[in-house]
A and B are shown apart, each in its own frame.
Chain A
Amino acid sequence: MVEPQTEPVPRGRTGSPWHWLLIIPVVVPLLVFLFNSKNPYILGFPRFYWLQLIFILLSVATTLVVYRLTSGGRSGR
């Protein structure tokens, strides 16, 4: 998951492959068909509004996971 640190390898030129996970919270909030409807309602909120607020949690979760997975190596300070 993180490049081995035992040898003096040149640091990964492209960073960790885990960074590709970040595509999920960039793409999903732009998929209009997922949220462009009123039903179902939750707590009085139409889907358009509550689902897009949920995407904030998706973004937080993904960035946290990527941070955990990539900060174990040399940049873990």
Chain B
Amino acid sequence: MKDHLAEIIIAAVIFLAVSVVGFVAARWRRPTDMGHLDEWGLGGRNFGSWITWFLVGGDLYTAYTFVAVPALLFASGALGFYAVPYTVIVYPMVFVVLVRLWSVSHKHGFVTPADFVRARSGSSTMALLVAITGIVATMPYIALQLVGIEAVLKSMHVDPTWALIIAFAILAAYTYQSGLRAPALIAFVKDALIYLVIIVAIIYIPYKLGGWHKIFDAADTKFAKTHGTVLNAGNQWQYVTWALGSALALFLYPHSVTGVLASRSRNVIKRNMSALPAYSLLLGLIALLGYMAIAAKTVPIKTNGKPDNNTVVPQLFDQMFPHWFAGVAFAAVAIGALVPAAIMAIAAANLFTRNIFKEYIKRDATPAQEAAASKIASLVVKAGAVLVILLISPQFSIDLQLIGGVIILQTLPAVGIGLYTRWLHRWGLVAGWVAGMGLGVWMLYQIPNPATNHVHFGGSAFLLSNWFDPTSIGLDAKTQVYVGFVAVVANAIVAVLVTLICRAIKAPDGVDATSPDDYLADAGDSTPPPLAEDQLPEPVPTS
């Protein structure tokens, strides 16, 4: 521990300074009334381009990403680079879809994706399913942020238990007080630190290792048997379906929606779709830290006798950087965990408040009561995340997050397709959700992972040969695909079939509370009714 004293002190000082920022955030862009979910949970719906860039960037590129993606390249080679196409294709897709969600939410005062589904499909069942899916998928994602902090703590040889509890208690306290303003303000510090660390890392480390070609040579040597620094016939489709599935899942996650709905206008989102890929470039370079670790012969820390690959990046920093800068780097990762964890907790809390508390427990809740319920729910969510990590195991949260990505995708027809067409019948949506969910979880259950001694839920790559001979349709015999992708395709097919049946038997369809113009509304078109009840369609503006 003594060797790491400088690192620990610097990391702790930066961490505490940032925590102060979190508390001060309540005064930043001070609202007239904090006792309102629009203020606490969406930062007043008034963030401009810069704040949104930092907030959404800080939200989507989490500490776990920084730790896990290089770890994947370190362990598996080229496959881990899927994170780059994934975060490249997500923006052009989001550009058109989320702008529509922003407009309709602006018009009707929606706070969560489930609010939208409730009004659009006229089905409270589907809205509840979307809310529960969102909460269940988000919880392990929050826990995963702790895994990022834990990896750093292990590298500094600090006992993670108490440090984790303190870090999350601070996080819970300032999120409770400041709401979405806290992560928005901290995101500035977080991103500045991360950019600093990564830019230094990608110049300094290759320099010390003798150049990029040495780094790629080392990776080639490690993966020589499998030619693992490029894709093979078996994992090509996994690469594509994983990138596509993850991209589709990303903007269905409640926390991405929260970040987007907090922005001021359509143009803020559109501008950000061009500006956010700067983070993808950063991520691509971060991913290559995994190969740098191979070249530097970094040894991951062992936990219970098994190497914990999540410690590869912190170990690399510890090995290559002077102590004081390693401290800065560790603080960057730890703070990188706080921003997304706070936004995720707020998003989950909003879902609970809007779509469970207000819908089923207290229908006449005032905006102040909604804000109060959300604040308490955010505390519960974070306490749950800490307990999962400390009492069960970090691996459990990693497995759950894998499932989370698959299940959140099952809200695609209700949310994503729903933004474009109301053709799908509400019962079709529900049936599709059930089918996709069932198939996805069943497929995940069958995937073993020898590396972690898992018989079930060992990964998200499904061998097609379990079902049929892939060579019969011209694919490689070992072709794997991403479970979430298969499940959401099944979901969509079932939704279409059930819709056709419902139309044939003339089953009553729900009432659509939105009108086509709502999806194009912009700031200034009308004042959004703050958290209004679900309204009837408003008359179409005449000019």
Spell out A's residues near B (CB within 8 Å).
8, 10-13, 15, 19, 22-26, 29-30, 32, 36-38, 41, 43-46, 48-49, 52-53, 55-56, 58-60, 62-64, 66-67, 70-71, 74-77
Is the contact region of chain A dominated by helix, strand, or loop, or is it mixed? helix
CB distance from A72 to the nearest CB of B (A): 11
Q: How far is the CA of A4 from the CA of B453 in the complex (A)?
A: 63
Q: How far is the CA of A32 from the CA of B235 in the complex (A)?
A: 11
Among residues 159 to 201 in chain B, which have CB atoms less than 8 Å away from a CB atom of chain A?
Answer: none
Query: Contact between A22 and B543 (Cβ–Cβ < 8 Å)?
Result: no
Q: Which residues of B contact A49 (CB under 8 A)?
A: 81, 216, 284, 288
Query: Contact between B216 and A67 (Cβ–Cβ < 8 Å)?
Result: no
Spell out B's residues near A (CB within 8 Å).
78, 81, 84-85, 88-89, 91-93, 95-96, 211-216, 229-231, 236, 239-240, 243-244, 265-267, 270-271, 273-274, 277, 280-281, 284, 288, 516-517, 520, 522-524, 540, 542-543
Contact among A25, A38, A43 for B229, CB-based, below 8 A? A38
Query: Contact between A52 and B85 (Cβ–Cβ < 8 Å)?
Result: yes
Q: Which residues of A contact B280 (CB under 8 A)?
A: 56, 59
Q: Which residues of B contact A43 (CB under 8 A)?
A: 212
Please name 23 pairs of A and B residues whose Cβ atoms are closer than 8 Å in the assembled complex, sorted by A.
A8-B543, A12-B520, A19-B95, A22-B96, A24-B92, A25-B88, A29-B88, A32-B236, A36-B236, A38-B230, A43-B212, A44-B214, A46-B216, A46-B229, A48-B231, A49-B284, A52-B81, A53-B84, A63-B270, A66-B95, A67-B270, A67-B274, A71-B270
CB distance from A68 to the nearest CB of B (A): 10
| Count of CB-CB pairs between chains A and B under 8 Å | 122
Add 7 more A-B contacts to A22-B93, A55-B88, A66-B95 (CB < 8 A).
A15-B520, A44-B212, A48-B78, A53-B281, A59-B280, A63-B273, A75-B267
Contact among A15, A32, A67 for B240, CB-based, below 8 A? A32
Q: Which residues of B contact A67 (CB under 8 A)?
A: 270-271, 273-274
Q: How far is the CA of A75 from the CA of B96 in the complex (A)?
A: 13
Q: How far is the CA of A46 from the CA of B373 in the complex (A)?
A: 52
CB distance from B84 to the nearest CB of A (A): 5
Known: A36-B236, A53-B284, A67-B271. A30 touches B96 (CB 8 A): no
Query: Contact between A55 and B265 (Cβ–Cβ < 8 Å)?
Result: no
Contact among B92, B516, B520 for A63, CB-based, below 8 A? B92
